Structure 1
Amino acid sequence: MAGVHPDALMVKRIATGTIAVGLVVLGIKYYAFYVTGSVALYSDALESIVNVVAGVIALWAVSVSFAPADSDHQFGHTKAEYFSAVVEGALIIVAALLILREAWGAYLEPRTLEAPMVGIAINGAATLINLLWAQFLIRASRARRSPALAADGRHIMADVVTSVGVLTGLAVASVTGWGLLDPIMAALVAVNILREGWLVVTSSLSGLMDQAMAPADEERVRSIISGHALGALEVHDLKTRIAGRALFIEFHMVVPSAMTVGDAHDICDRIEEALLREFDHSTVQIHVEPEGEIKQTGVPVV
């Protein structure tokens, strides 16, 4: 059904919260860099800038995605969130390249770290904030089927992993006095960020290319159809696709040639209602065919 998604306000609030959290974490991480002069901590702070920019883009995307269908976009605007995730992936890659440049400069001219343990403690606090927020985003993205929130959650969780690596490297460097470990850790951060950027982009492109539902979900669709199609002869040519949080399910249903339009319509309503109970905010399209169209390769009716 057309209209505003009931989760619209909540998702927008979460996206706004991501920006606020990103700004706080950015400030904390930059202060850790300021205290220590560590290029690894600088790289960690630079990735937080990407988090903030990505949060702004995600807020725009979810706002657009919740806009109701119109004459130019009759299936809605839910795919807008995929564009946000693609842009975020591109920003991640740019950040990684900037970090690599900074790491190379520090490798050529090693720097003496100042107050490394203080920097580690400060950055550790920012990492804990990121961990808690990333876990919240991932749960929220699953509950509300939001690609933009999912991309933010994965990115921030990757930031947590790299931060832990950076903190470990700095701790070792401060104990051993091996200054080159600082730019090496920064370079490793950049490589991990590149990997995460690639995963975000490829996942989003799959959505833009009308990716089908997961095999387990599609099997559940088949089971629901089979269990609620009493009176039909066969269901075949099942197709599914995902567009952000929206799901589209379509198939052909074969009924006896003597069945009335009203009876066939009742079966369609029964199947559609069952699917909507299981898959919220999905669109179901059923093409009714006479018994001569049986293929004997479709979903059995029980």
Structure 2
Amino acid sequence: MQEQKRIILYSLSTGIILMLFKFTAYLITHSNAILTDAVESIVNVIASGFAFYSIHLSSQPKDENHPYGHGKVEFFSVFLEGGLIFIAGLLIVGKAVYNIFFPEQISNLLEGMGMLAFTGLVNFALGTYMIKKGKSLYSLTIMADGKHLQVDSYSTLGLLVGLLLLYMTGVQQIDIVLSLGLGFYILFSGYKLLRKSVGGLMDESDFELINQVVQILEENRKDSWIDVHNLRVQRYGHELHIDCHMTLPNYFDLIKVHEEVSQVDALINKKVHIDTELFIHADPCLPACCHYCNMKNCPIRSEEKKVDIVWDAPLVMRNKKHFDV
């Protein structure tokens, strides 16, 4: 968790410096498009500050009021960042429309473009680093902040191309068109982050993660794991909570059932590389399970095995045994 805080502090301090660069570029050029980029940098700074707080809070241990921990705060961080980006997009579009009727004279364009190019390179490098570290640390907050910085660098690149065209042609309206285009792009980026955060807060299924868990179970399944169904995965920041039903031979005693469940727990925690809490409901097998059961020398088998069933997400997520497969 200390590494996550350190990365966010890098982002926060860098964001403040780059914000000053961009506003300086706007003050010397009076370019509405450059102001667009500068306004978005304010969002970067505020979002990084809240991201630092959310990572600090999510690292706190579980307590009586938060039995599942504090990891959900990361989705609030993403929601705030998306909301700020969306508001910034609205302000940018509004300013561009205003300048259609009340244009400003642009000057010192080359100097402003140079400063802007520097900020774009720094944002892209830092954003790429944060996405890579966010994936390795399984931190949604760091990945969201990194993607935001990359989006900022892409918009800066597009802005530079447009400003170069403006410099070569002298057509002042290009500045307004650039600002409008970037404003709508920023609105869309904010919407995507808002959508992601709401999905996380409402425990929307993460099919990539579910597929990963199911693949691990399929590749390491034991004969005694007759089927797995009603599997659900919830993410709480840097932790996962998985619950499912597992069908085991009905002649296993309680000690044996506990051993099997513990093996699944250890397997998932080892392979997924995220701290995972599992709640496994053990179901006894029924005669209808025999036609796909792999147990050898079963003392209660009512019919021979006839089919092999491959576990995949659609099958394992269903809330019923695999009788009709």
TM-score, normalised to structure 2, is 0.84
Aligned mate of 2:74, from 63, 75, 81: 81
Q: Is the 8 A contact 2:233 2:241 kept in 1?
A: yes
Name the counterpart of 2:144: 151
Aligned mate of 1:219, from 197, 205, 211: 211
CA change 1:32–1:225 in 2 (3 A) is same
Deviates more, 1:223-232 or 1:174-183: 223-232
Does residue 124 (structure 1) correspond to residue 102 (structure 2)? The answer is no
Deviates more, 1:199-208 or 1:226-235: 226-235
Q: How does 1:120-269 map to 2 (within 5 A)?
A: 120-215=113-208, 217-226=209-218, 227-269=220-262
SS in 1 for 2:252: coil
**Take 1:219 and 1:236, find their aligned partners in 2: how far apart are those partners?**
13
SS in 1 for 2:245: strand
Q: Is the 8 A contact 1:224 1:271 kept in 2?
A: no
Deviates more, 1:129-138 or 1:227-236: 227-236
Long gaps (5+) in structure 2 = 293-319
**Take 1:205 and 1:97, find their aligned partners in 2: how far apart are those partners?**
20
Shift of 1:63: 0.9
Shift of 1:231: 2.6
**Take 2:124 and 2:211, find their aligned partners in 1: how far apart are those partners?**
34
Aligned mate of 1:281, from 275, 286, 289: 275
Name the counterpart of 1:108: 101
Name the counterpart of 1:3: none
* Superimposed CA distance per residue, residues 65-87 of structure 1 (whole angstroms, 9 cap, x where no aligned partner): 11111001101110101001111
Q: Is the 8 A contact 1:107 1:184 kept in 2?
A: no
Shift of 1:94: 1.4
Q: How does 1:82-101 map to 2 (within 5 A)?
A: 82-101=75-94
Shift of 1:294: 6.4
Long gaps (5+) in structure 1 = 1-7
Shift of 1:140: 1.6
TM-score, normalised to structure 1, is 0.91
SS in 2 for 1:69: coil
Aligned mate of 2:6, from 9, 13, 24: 13
CA change 1:97–1:223 in 2 (3 A) is closer
Q: Which has the larger radius of gyration?
A: 2
**Take 1:40 and 1:84, find their aligned partners in 2: how far apart are those partners?**
28
CA change 1:180–1:232 in 2 (3 A) is closer
Aligned residues: 292
SS in 2 for 1:101: helix
SS in 2 for 1:288: strand
CA change 1:143–1:298 in 2 (3 A) is farther
Identity %: 27
Tell me which amino acid in the other structure corresponds to 1:236. H
**Take 1:219 and 1:57, find their aligned partners in 2: how far apart are those partners?**
31
SS in 2 for 1:230: coil
Shift of 1:212: 2.4
**Take 2:226 and 2:105, find their aligned partners in 1: how far apart are those partners?**
77
**Take 1:271 and 1:228, find their aligned partners in 2: how far apart are those partners?**
9
SS in 2 for 1:134: helix
SS in 2 for 1:148: helix
**Take 2:211 and 2:22, find their aligned partners in 1: how far apart are those partners?**
46
**Take 2:270 and 2:281, find their aligned partners in 1: how far apart are those partners?**
21
**Take 2:287 and 2:12, find their aligned partners in 1: how far apart are those partners?**
54
**Take 1:28 and 1:235, find their aligned partners in 2: how far apart are those partners?**
56
Deviates more, 1:287-296 or 1:100-109: 287-296
SS in 2 for 1:56: helix
**Take 1:196 and 1:190, find their aligned partners in 2: how far apart are those partners?**
10
Shift of 1:174: 1.2
Does residue 52 (structure 1) correspond to residue 52 (structure 2)? The answer is no
CA change 1:224–1:93 in 2 (3 A) is closer
Name the counterpart of 1:39: 32
Q: CA RMSD in A?
A: 1.9
